[in-house]
């Protein structure tokens, strides 16, 4: 089999030179499609991401699919580390490569050209969840500062500011995951008896409902929809959050990355560094855990299937309340 040639974004040539390797190049795209569920939010972006990861590996190693060894995977892993990628990112990329080889081996037309999955021996351990220093909640002061910055943009009349303000409150007041909020459609919301009911597809594919009773949240949403001349979209299939970065009226849904970039800018203006959207969920979890003192209530609020996940999550982002030192002091006659 011929070696893989170097790849650029604009390269329209085959990834591999021989006719057989052209088939394997196309197999990357077929694998990505087959391994990504049709209902996945932002599916096209995820497909491109998967394809890009696997292609980048072969472009880096410059070997054919059947020639790859565990040492090659280890070399790529070292390179990714040197480039400053986080352990979770490296694990994800190598897992994509492993998934591709597993798919090749299961394909009767391609399995004979791949001896084994070379990734298995070089695959790193999965990073423990929520153990990175970047995984933290915002303090109350940081949260208030960020909210104040975005609220000021909204009050100044910016439509995108009103959108981002409503989005930020949705994240902070519900604790929902990134895609659960950004993918909301008009039909997923219902305003009833001064409460907003959200129906969304949770992680795992199940549909659930959640109530928001805080006036500031649904008022921010309605202010945005009215300012964007979209006050009638409830009960429709139109996306709640759309782009407002062009002169003409847009109907394109807002991409998660776009809001993430905006949030970083708002946070920097508020003096808060190293911000990402999932920290809104961490912040929500911290506040719920501190206010209730209950893992069970926090688990329910976060929609975690497994209580152990909640325990690890909460232990990493909260400070335990001192419930016992006063009793100890009395026993030891310090008071």
Q: Apex CA 50: angle with CA 48 and CA 55, to 5°?
A: 90
DSSP string, 25-42: HHHHHHHHHHTS-TT-TT
- Pick from 201, 245, 197: nearest CA to 221: 197
The three-class DSSP label of residue 21 is: helix
Q: For residue 119, what is the enclosing H or E element?
A: none
pLDDT for res 4:
37
Spell out the per-residue pLDDT of the chain, length 335, in tens: 333 333 344 443 433 445 545 666 788 999 999 988 776 656 787 888 899 999 999 989 988 888 899 999 999 999 999 998 888 788 889 999 999 999 999 988 878 878 899 998 887 776 665 445 455 889 999 999 999 999 999 999 999 999 999 999 999 999 998 989 999 999 999 988 888 889 877 765 667 788 888 999 999 999 999 999 998 998 899 999 999 876 556 778 999 999 999 999 999 999 999 999 999 998 998 898 888 888 888 888 888 777 777 777 777 666 666 666 677 777 787 65
16 phi, psi to nearest 5 deg: -125, 155
pLDDT for res 14:
36
């Amino acid at each position: 089999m011929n070696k893989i040639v170097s790849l650029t974004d604009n390269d329209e040539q085959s990834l591999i030179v021989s006719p057989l390797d052209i088939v394997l190049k196309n197999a990357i795209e077929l694998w990505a499609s087959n391994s990504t569920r049709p209902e996945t939010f932002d599916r096209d972006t995820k497909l491109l991401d998967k394809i890009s990861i696997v292609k980048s590996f072969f472009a880096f190693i410059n070997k054919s699919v059947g020639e790859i060894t565990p040492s090659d995977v280890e070399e790529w892993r070292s390179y990714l580390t040197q480039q400053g990628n986080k352990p979770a990112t490296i694990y994800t990329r190598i897992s994509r490569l492993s998934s591709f080889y597993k798919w090749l081996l299961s394909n009767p037309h391609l399995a004979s050209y791949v001896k084994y999955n070379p990734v298995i021996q070089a695959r790193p351990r999965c990073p423990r969840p929520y153990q990175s220093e970047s995984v933290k909640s915002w303090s109350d002061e940081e949260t208030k500062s960020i909210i104040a910055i975005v609220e000021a943009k909204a009050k100044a009349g910016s439509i995108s500011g009103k959108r981002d303000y409503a989005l930020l409150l949705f994240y902070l007041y519900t604790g929902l995951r990134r895609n659960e909020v950004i993918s909301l459609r008009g039909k997923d919301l219902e305003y009833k008896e001064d409460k907003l009911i959200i129906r969304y597809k949770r992680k795992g594919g199940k549909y659930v409902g959640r109530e928001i009773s805080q006036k500031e949240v649904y008022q921010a949403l309605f202010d945005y929809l009215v300012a964007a001349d979209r006050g009638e979209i409830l009960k429709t299939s139109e996306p709640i959050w759309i782009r407002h970065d062009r002169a003409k009226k847009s109907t394109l849904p807002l991409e998660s990355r776009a809001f993430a970039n905006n949030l970083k800018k708002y946070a920097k203006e508020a003096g808060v560094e190293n911000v990402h959207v999932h920290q809104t969920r961490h912040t929500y979890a911290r506040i719920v855990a501190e206010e209730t003192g209950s893992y069970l209530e926090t688990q329910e609020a976060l929609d975690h299937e497994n209580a152990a996940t909640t325990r690890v999550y909460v232990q990493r982002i909260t400070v335990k309340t001192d419930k016992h030192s006063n009793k100890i002091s009395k026993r030891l006659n310090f008071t």
